Every structure is written in structure tokens, then in C-alpha cells.
């Protein structure tokens, strides 16, 4: 039942926060924050209680599981399960949920109740995606994320918020429909082979499919996950959504929603379609390299801080796609570390950009500069997370990208060389961000408040997490290890990408 509570807590708290806001906006905020803290505490407790025997998990064992019939006539079950990978992602979800509530404490003044209702329901949908082991339930949760995120952008966003929200909705909805068709195809193919109608993940693994059919069905899943990741060239919704979303919306988008795409590739595409994924891997790797380079170059060309950070996500998540489809143990582990570290570093960068905008009422670098003289703690924090983003050794992003590059080099030095160019390019946009926003003369005569106690606590906590990931990532790697081993078995079956 504990997995049900992880989903029910934000759902129920969102409804309560929506109603109590009519009488007290503070109560609405406190209820939302409490719900996120409770979810985070439960996740950390599950991690601490199970850490000693996580490495003993086999393919059919879970840390926690809830499995009851739902719509039995169609073979649909309400099946939730948690392994090391989903545990870490759920913990990240509630951590960034806390950050999203705290960063919107002063930013959101209108419709506070409905804002927190949508924010908590997005979080609930994301948690359900990470726990669902029935493909119908997974698709239901996937769509549950869409509507509240649309409202967060369309109602509380900036000037072109409706355009950005509609673009986000169309990209994710259309790709999601392709995944639905793929799920139904797999469902009927399994019935044709076994006589059983089921959406159960464990039963659908190994469903016999003709090679051509397997490729098409795999591409249906891949399309949904690639758009959400986002993968070049299906990334065009992301800069607009990030630019127009409120700060909390950008944190959820960068830190969590994009991670559902990477999770889908690891959880569904590789295990369900190993041979089709092997055949498609060279294309995916080429697109990953294109995304790494394209995202870095486009980030350097931006003048809006939010758009710059948005394009860095395209580049960094190219490393995730590369690691997954290269398929070596190091590359897969690096991809997962990058998922976690990127959620922390880029999510916090969006928070810092939001703080800058709140104080200066602009995100244009041409109108900024000299902030270090008036807000040194804010500027210093910005420099820290920019260094994390460009892969400074000792911080989490470096560990993830280094493992991806090392795993890639052992398979194809040429591919690793191209990916390394993307790391070098990140230095240029990082320096541009710092130089144009924080350094230089204070020509605008800024006299701005520095970080408040709430903001210091929030940013400081994220610094600690990134330092921990960078200096001692072993607990995360150990927790992810059983999942990595199962993926390694898939890799060693038909092979992946350029694996020799």
C-alpha cells in the first residue's frame, strides 16, 4: 500500500490545497509543501530500509509492490512496483516537488489554490509513471501529467504562454497516441500468441513479433519517449515551454517530465524490443550526437537566460540517449547518473533564473550584468550550477557524462570524440552565462536583495546533493545496479548499437 500512498498523497493534498486557498493562501502553500516533504521522507525511508539488499534483487523481485485487478475483462490490473531505478526517480520527484513549491512561494499570487492543485497532480502523475507496471496504467499516468502541465504553462506563464502550452500539448499528445497504438498492437499480438489478454509488463516481455512489426511497435514507444526526452529534432516544443512557463513549471519540466522519456527508454524500449532496439541503435546514436552538438551551439547563441538553459537540456540529455543505446554497463550507468544530476543542476538553474527575473524583471543578458556587486550569494550560486552544468569534476554531471564517454569510447572512439566536442562547447555557453549575467560593470545601477533564507536553504540543499553525487556516487550506482544488470542481459542478447 505504501506505493499507493506515494501517488495518493499529492492527489489528495492537491484537492485540499485548491479548496483551502479561498480562505488562506498560506495554508494552501503549507499543505502542498507538507505533502511533498512527506513523499520525500517516505522515499528516503524506503531507500534506507532496503539499501542493504537492493543488490540481491532479481528480475522478478521488487522493493515494494501493489497488484490488484482493475478492469479484469480487458486484462488490466492496478499494478505498481518499485525497484532501485524507480526508487531513485521517485525520490528525485519529491525533492524537486519541494523545490517547486518553495520557489513559487512569492512568484504566484493569482489562483494560488488552482496552481498548487495542478502542480501536485503533475507530481502524482510523474510518480505513477515511475511505478506503473501495467502498460494501460502507465499510459493513463503518462496522460495524467499532460493536462495539469498545460494549465501551469497556459495560466501562470509569460507573454506567449498559450502558444507554448498548445505546442507542448500537441507534441506530447500526438506522440503519446503513437505509443497507445503501439501498446494495443503489443496487447493483441500477445493474445494471438498466448490466448491471454494482458497489459502486464512482465508478461509482455518476450512477446513474439515479426521483425518488421517489432520495429514499428518499438518506434511507437520510442516516439513518445524521444519527444518527452526531448531528442533532436523533436525538441522544438521545449525552449518555448521553458521560456513561457512559471519557474516551478520549468523546474518540473527540466527536472522531471524530461526524465520520464529517459525512464521509458530504459524500462520499456530495451526490454520489450531488444532486437529492434539493436537495429535502430545506430540511428539513435547519430541523433544523440546531433542533439549534443546542436543543443550546445544553440545554447551559446541565446540572449534569453531561460532559452539558454533550455537548450542545454537538449545537449545534456543527448548524453542520456547516447549512453542508453551504446548499451555498455558504464554507458548505461552514466546515463542514469546524468538523469539524476541534470534534474538537480538544470532545475536549480531555472530557479536561479527565476530569482534573477523576479528581482530585475528581465531575462535578457544584454540588460543584465554587474549582479555580483549587488547580489553576491545569488551570483555565486549561479556560477556553481553553471560549473556543474558544464561538467566540473567533483560535481554530479561530470560523473554521469564521464561514464557515458568512457563507455562509448570502449565501443567507438569516433562517437566518443564527437560527444566530447559537445562537452567543450558547453564551456562556451557556461562562460557566456556567467560573464553576461553576473560579471562586468553594474551599468544598470542594480540595488537588489540577495538570496533570502528560504532561497539559501533551497539552493544550498541542491548544492549538497550535487557534491554528494560528484564525490560519492556509489550509493546511487549500487541502487541502480540490479536494473543495470537486467539491461546488460538484454544488451548481451542480440547486442546493442556498435557493441562488438
User: Of 126 and 194, which is predicted with more confidence?
Assistant: 126
The answer to whether residue 495 scores a pLDDT higher than 70 is no
Mean residue pLDDT of the chain comes to 90
In a domain, 28, yes or no: no
Number of domains comprising the chain:
1
Q: What is the pLDDT of residue 60?
A: 55
Question: Which domain range does residue 318 map to?
Answer: 273-500
Burial category of 447 from C-beta neighbours within 10 Å (exposed 0-12, middle 13-18, buried 19 and up): exposed
pLDDT band with cut points at 50, 70 and 90 for residue 57: low
Euclidean distance between CA atoms 492 and 92, whole angstroms: 30
In a domain, 133, yes or no: no
In a domain, 131, yes or no: no
In a domain, 415, yes or no: yes
The answer to whether residue 95 scores a pLDDT higher than 90 is yes
The answer to whether residue 79 scores a pLDDT higher than 80 is yes
The answer to whether residue 410 scores a pLDDT higher than 70 is yes
**Over residues 153-172, mean pLDDT:** 90
In a domain, 372, yes or no: yes
pLDDT band with cut points at 50, 70 and 90 for residue 58: low
The answer to whether residue 494 scores a pLDDT higher than 50 is no
The answer to whether residue 261 scores a pLDDT higher than 60 is yes
Residues 208-247: tens digit of each pLDDT: 889 999 999 999 999 999 999 888 888 889 888 988 899 9
**Over residues 146-160, mean pLDDT:** 91
**Over residues 149-160, mean pLDDT:** 90
In a domain, 134, yes or no: no
The answer to whether residue 493 scores a pLDDT higher than 60 is no
Percent of the chain with pLDDT over 90: 62
In a domain, 416, yes or no: yes
User: Of 490 and 183, which is predicted with more confidence?
Assistant: 183
In a domain, 406, yes or no: yes
**Over residues 25-35, mean pLDDT:** 94
Amino acid at each position: 500500500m505504501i506505493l499507493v500512498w506515494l501517488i495518493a498523497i499529492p492527489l489528495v493534498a492537491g484537492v485540499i490545497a485548491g479548496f483551502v486557498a479561498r480562505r488562506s493562501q498560506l495554508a494552501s502553500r503549507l499543505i502542498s509543501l507538507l505533502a511533498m516533504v512527506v513523499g520525500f521522507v517516505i522515499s528516503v525511508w524506503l531507500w534506507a530500509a532496503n539499501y542493504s539488499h537492493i543488490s540481491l534483487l532479481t528480475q522478478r523481485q521488487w522493493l515494494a509492490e501493489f497488484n490488484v485487478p482493475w478492469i479484469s475483462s480487458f486484462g488490466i490490473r492496478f499494478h505498481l512496483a518499485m525497484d532501485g531505478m524507480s526508487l531513485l526517480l521517485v525520490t528525485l520527484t519529491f525533492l524537486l516537488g519541494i523545490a517547486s513549491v518553495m520557489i513559487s512561494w512569492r512568484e504566484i499570487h493569482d489562483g494560488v489554490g488552482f496552481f498548487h492543485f495542478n502542480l501536485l497532480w503533475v507530481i502524482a502523475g510523474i510518480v505513477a509513471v515511475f511505478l506503473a507496471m501495467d502498460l494501460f496504467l502507465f499510459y493513463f499516468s503518462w496522460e495524467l501529467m499532460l493536462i495539469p502541465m498545460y494549465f501551469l504553462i497556459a495560466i501562470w506563464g509569460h507573454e506567449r504562454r498559450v502558444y507554448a502550452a498548445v505546442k507542448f500539448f500537441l507534441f506530447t499528445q500526438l506522440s503519446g497516441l503513437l505509443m497507445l497504438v503501439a501498446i494495443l498492437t503489443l496487447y493483441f499480438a500477445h493474445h494471438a500468441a498466448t490466448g491471454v489478454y494482458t497489459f502486464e509488463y512482465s508478461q509482455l516481455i518476450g512477446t513474439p513479433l515479426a521483425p518488421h512489426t517489432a520495429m514499428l511497435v518499438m518506434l511507437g514507444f520510442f516516439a513518445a519517449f524521444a519527444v518527452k526526452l526531448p531528442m533532436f529534432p523533436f525538441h522544438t516544443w521545449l525552449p518555448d515551454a521553458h521560456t513561457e512557463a512559471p519557474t516551478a513549471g520549468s523546474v518540473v519540466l527540466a527536472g522531471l517530465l524530461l526524465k520520464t522519456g529517459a525512464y521509458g527508454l530504459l524500462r520499456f524500449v530495451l526490454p520489450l524490443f531488444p532486437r529492434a532496439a539493436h537495429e535502430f541503435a545506430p540511428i539513435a546514436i547519430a541523433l544523440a550526437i546531433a542533439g549534443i552538438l546542436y543543443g550546445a551551439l544553440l545554447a551559446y547563441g541565446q540572449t534569453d537566460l531561460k532559452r539558454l538553459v533550455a537548450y542545454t537540456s537538449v545537449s545534456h540529455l543527448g548524453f542520456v540517449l547516447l549512453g542508453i543505446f551504446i548499451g555498455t554497463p558504464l554507458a548505461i550507468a552514466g546515463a542514469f547518473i546524468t538523469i539524476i544530476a541534470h534534474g538537480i543542476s538544470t532545475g536549480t538553474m531555472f530557479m536561479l533564473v527565476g530569482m534573477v527575473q523576479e528581482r530585475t524583471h528581465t531575462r535578457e543578458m544584454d540588460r543584465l550584468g554587474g549582479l555580483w556587486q549587488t547580489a553576491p550569494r545569488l551570483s555565486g550560486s549561479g556560477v556553481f550550477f553553471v560549473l556543474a552544468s558544464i561538467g566540473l569534476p567533483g560535481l554530479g554531471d561530470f560523473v554521469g557524462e564521464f561514464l557515458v564517454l568512457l563507455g562509448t569510447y570502449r565501443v567507438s572512439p569516433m562517437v566518443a570524440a564527437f560527444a566530447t566536442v559537445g562537452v567543450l562547447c558547453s564551456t562556451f555557453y557556461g562562460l557566456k552565462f556567467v560573464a553576461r549575467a553576473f560579471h562586468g560593470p553594474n551599468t544598470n545601477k542594480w540595488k537588489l536583495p540577495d538570496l533570502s533564507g528560504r532561497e539559501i536553504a533551497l539552493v544550498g540543499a541542491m548544492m549538497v546533493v550535487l557534491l554528494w553525487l560528484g564525490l560519492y556516487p556509489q550509493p546511487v550506482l549500487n541502487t541502480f545496479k540490479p536494473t543495470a544488470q537486467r539491461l546488460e542481459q538484454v544488451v548481451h542478447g542480440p547486442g546493442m548499437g556498435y557493441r562488438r
